[in-house]
Amino acid sequence: MAIYGTALLCICVIAGMIVGKFLGALLHLDPKVNVGGVGFAMLLLICLTDWLRRRGAMRPPTEAGILFWSSIYIPVVVAMAASQDVRSAVTGGPAAILAGVLSVLCCLALVPVISRMGRTDDSLD
Amino acid sequence: MSDSLKSVFVDYSLVTAFAVIGLTVGFSYFLSHRLTRGRLHGSAIAIMLGLLMAYFGGMETHGKKGIADLPIFAGIGLMGGNMIRDLAIVATSMGVHLGEIRKTGLGGVVSLLVGVFVPFIVGAGVARAFGYTDAVSMTTIGAGAATFIVGPVTGTALGASSDIIALSVAAGLVKAILVMIGTPFIAKSIGLNNPRTALIFGGLMGTTSGVAGGLAATDPKLVPYGAMTATFHTGLGCLLGPSVMYFLIRQVA
């Protein structure tokens, strides 16, 4: 049933968030901060679905319960964009705009540099 | 609009949101095919339309949640809020190959550190150029240039004034929006077409909303990779901001 997949996904998200909050608390961060919760949830989901698949317990309807949420991802991002505080960003003044723009440009320029660095210990592909 | 009609949209706000966003996405793909022959991806247009809607919503209500501050569109705030967004991001990891993550290893860690360090320095420099010469303000604005969550967290920890914190949030928002819109245009020139570069991109840019939106508009297959590292960026920024970065910036301020 599709609910099994959705429940599995939700359990992974909750578990990841708990780990992220716990890590934040360990590091004495603000309780609002979640250190890599989404990342842990993803790794957990990858491992669990892989294990279930190998045991043959991952039926197509179960998988559909996860894939639906994955396929609704772009519309969710559009909704996220529509609920951003764009007015504050635009009216934040030149210092805010310049700080944002320059930090994006500097980081973008470094993407190929670091990407190439990772390649040295890798066979040609 | 008559009140009874309005109450339908308000009572069924999440359902309204799915309908409105679905129509927006459909309209965007139509524009993408007709006006740009698919060269500008439909989802990129949809995200820009979303941001435009957010701008007008903000102008109308002076709230912080874009179009979602209008009661009939409140469901869009729920649909695009952290809860559903994170659920959908995690679901995309079904297409992730663990081998790709392992191969990126060191590059991912370096990208995270550089991705936190560089915005702080750039942001603090800009702050100084605009006359904010005390270390607390410089660090807070630098933190905002990392992401709009690191900004207020760092500013609060250091006791920055509320106008400086607002400025840091604005810097972070500018960054998120620029990454959302700009990524599809520069993807080719920075080699952003494979999981490894997407992982590094996520670590460097940090802003989860920006990375998620930008990669979705570039190639949806790359989203889980970028999102995975981006989610560690904010935590690292909140950790280093009020500590290491503040001490470093205090040395030069």
Identify the helix (H) or strand (E) that includes residue B27. helix B13-36
Considering the domain architecture, whether residues A49 and A100 belong to the same structural domain is answered as no
Residue A123 has pLDDT above 80, yes or no: no
Contact B75, B14 (CB under 8 A): yes
Considering the domain architecture, whether residues A39 and A23 belong to the same structural domain is answered as yes
Pick from B158, B83, B88, B70: which is nearest to B120 by CA?
B158
Residue to test with chain A: of B64, B69, B168, B174, most A Cβ within 10 A: B174
Considering the domain architecture, whether residues A53 and A112 belong to the same structural domain is answered as no
Contacts of B91 in chain A (CB under 8 A): 9, 45, 66-70, 73
Considering the domain architecture, whether residues A67 and A18 belong to the same structural domain is answered as yes
Three-class SS state of B219: coil
Q: In tens digits, what is the pLDDT along chain B, a chain of 253 residues?
A: 688 888 999 999 999 999 999 999 999 999 988 987 777 778 878 888 998 999 999 999 998 888 999 999 999 999 988 899 889 888 888 877 777 777 777 888 889 899 999 999 999 999 999 988 898 999 999 999 998 888 888 888 888 887 888 888 888 888 988 998 899 999 988 989 889 899 999 999 988 888 988 998 898 889 989 988 888 888 788 888 888 888 888 888 7
Considering the domain architecture, whether residues A66 and A76 belong to the same structural domain is answered as yes
Of B46, B204, B235, the CB nearest to A111: B204
Considering the domain architecture, whether residues A67 and A97 belong to the same structural domain is answered as no
Considering the domain architecture, whether residues A78 and A90 belong to the same structural domain is answered as no
Segment A55-83 mean pLDDT: 89
In a domain, A28, yes or no: yes
In a domain, A46, yes or no: yes
Considering the domain architecture, whether residues A66 and A95 belong to the same structural domain is answered as no
Give A28's DSSP letter: T
Residue A63 has pLDDT above 60, yes or no: yes
What residue numbers bound the domain in which A17 lies? 2-84
Considering the domain architecture, whether residues A8 and A43 belong to the same structural domain is answered as yes
Residue to test with chain A: of B87, B197, B233, most A Cβ within 10 A: B87
In a domain, A125, yes or no: no
Question: Does B200 sit within 8 Å of A93, measured CB to CB?
Answer: no
Place of tokens 């590292």: B229
Contact A19, A40 (CB under 8 A): yes
DSSP secondary structure letters along A30-43:
-TT--SSHHHHHHH
- How many folded domains does chain A comprise? 2
pLDDT tens digits for range A84-105 = 888 887 777 788 889 999 999 9
Q: Is the ipTM of this complex over 0.90?
A: no
State the Cα–Cα distance between residues A1 and A3, nearest whole angstrom. Answer: 5
CA-based nearest distance B1→chain A, Å: 22
State the Cα–Cα distance between residues B112 and B107, nearest whole angstrom. Answer: 9
What does the mean pLDDT of chain A come to? 84
Of A17, A85, A117, the CB nearest to B58: A85
Considering the domain architecture, whether residues A114 and A60 belong to the same structural domain is answered as no
Q: Does B226 touch chain A (CB under 8 A)?
A: no
